[in-house]
Structure 1
Amino acid sequence: MITLETDRLILRDYTESDFDAYYKLKTDDKTMYYMQDIKLDLEDDARAEFEGVLADMEKLDREFYFLHMELKDTHEQVGSVGYTVTGTTPVGKLVHLGYFTYPKFWGNGYMSEAVQKVLEFAFTQDNVYRVTTGCLAENIGSERVMQKSGLIKEAEHIDYEWHDDRMKTRLEYRLLRHEWESMHK
């Protein structure tokens, strides 16, 4: 079971008792505005997905490393942060980073703090070689998290994604293990 701590946060694997918090987070319209592809609407769908998350944690070739994110002092849920393994190579895992938080926590630096801890875990304990992530260009807060966490902009795809009734530009970021190591010498 993964448990990581920052100055203000606890990041940990989900447990069976977290279902209600998971369901609430994944169905929150404002939280999931930029994550429509993984937003849930029905409790049955959320239950099935959650059971899949719990089952995946038991596998030797675990694919999902998304962690429950809570305040250290009150244990209030802040959001979720982590990555999905998209491939494995002789030099390490290739992963896609993701994160989302309730709007009331935006702008407080929690997500940057959490992402930096997850990157540390990925590169030092989980044999991750390459991290990729991205956001819509209008999601300035998400891009700022990537920048503050040391990720490097790799691409800007103009009119790339249909969202909220129009085409929008998507930004892509990456970080390689040796790039992360050079930042933390």
Structure 2
Amino acid sequence: MIKLETERLYLRDYEEADFEAYYKLKTDEETMYYMQDIKLVDRESARAEFEDVLADMESEHRKFYFLHVELKDTHEQVGSIGYTLVDDTPVGKIVHLGYFTYPKFWGNGYISEALRKLLEFAFTENNVYRVTTGCLKENVRSERVMQKNGMIKEAEHIDYEWHDGQMRTRLEYRLLKKEWNK
């Protein structure tokens, strides 16, 4: 069971008691605006996905490392952050990172703080070699989180993704373990 702590936050594996919070977060229109591909639309699909998350945590070959993020003082859910295993190479794991948070917490540095801790865990405890992530170009807050954590822009894909009725540009970032160590 993963349990991480920052100055203001707890980051931890999901537990059965978190289903309602998970469902609320993954169906929230504003929170999931930039992640329509993983937004959930009903309770039934949320329950099925949540059961898969819990089962994967117990698996010997875990693929999903997404963590519940909450405030230390009130235990209120801020959002979720984590990564998915893409490949396990002889030099370490290659993972794809993601994060999402309720709009009321935007601009407080919570996700930057959570990402700093998650990267530390990934590179020092979970044998991660390469982290990749990205966002739509207009999602400047998300891009800033990546930049504040030392991630390096690798690509700008013009008219790459259909979103909200038009083609959008996608930015891709990465961080290697040796880059993080610096």
TM-score interval for Structure 1 and Structure 2 normalised by the shorter chain: over 0.9
What is the 5 A alignment of 1:134-145?
134-145=134-145
Determine the C-alpha separation between the residues in 1 that align with 2:60 and 2:8. 30
User: 1:123 maps to what in 2?
Assistant: 123
Shift, 1:180, TM fit? 0.3
User: What corresponds to 1:8 in structure 2?
Assistant: 8
User: Which residue pairs with 2:158 in the alignment?
Assistant: 158
Cα separation, 2, equivalents of 1:81 and 1:5: 13
The residue correspondences of 1:13-32 to structure 2 (distance < 5 A) are 13-32=13-32
Identity %: 76
Q: Matched residue pairs, number?
A: 182
Secondary structure at 2:87 match in 1? strand
Cα displacement (A) at 1:61: 1.1
Unaligned runs of 5+ in 2: none
Give ranges in structure 1 of 5+ residues lacking alignment: none
Distance 1:114 1:166 in 2: 32
Q: CA RMSD in A?
A: 0.3
Q: What is the TM-score with the length of structure 1 in the denominator?
A: 0.98
Q: Distance in 2 between matches of 1:137 and 1:22?
A: 27
Instruction: Give the 5 Å matches for 1:64-143.
Output: 64-143=64-143
CA distance in 2, matches of 1:150, 1:8: 21
> Per-residue displacement from partner, 1:63-100 (whole Å, max 9, x unpaired)?
00000000000000000000000001000000000000
Q: Distance in 2 between matches of 1:15 and 1:179?
A: 33
Please identify runs of 4+ aligned residues in structure 1 that moved more than 6 A. Answer: none
TM-score (normalizing by structure 2):
1.00
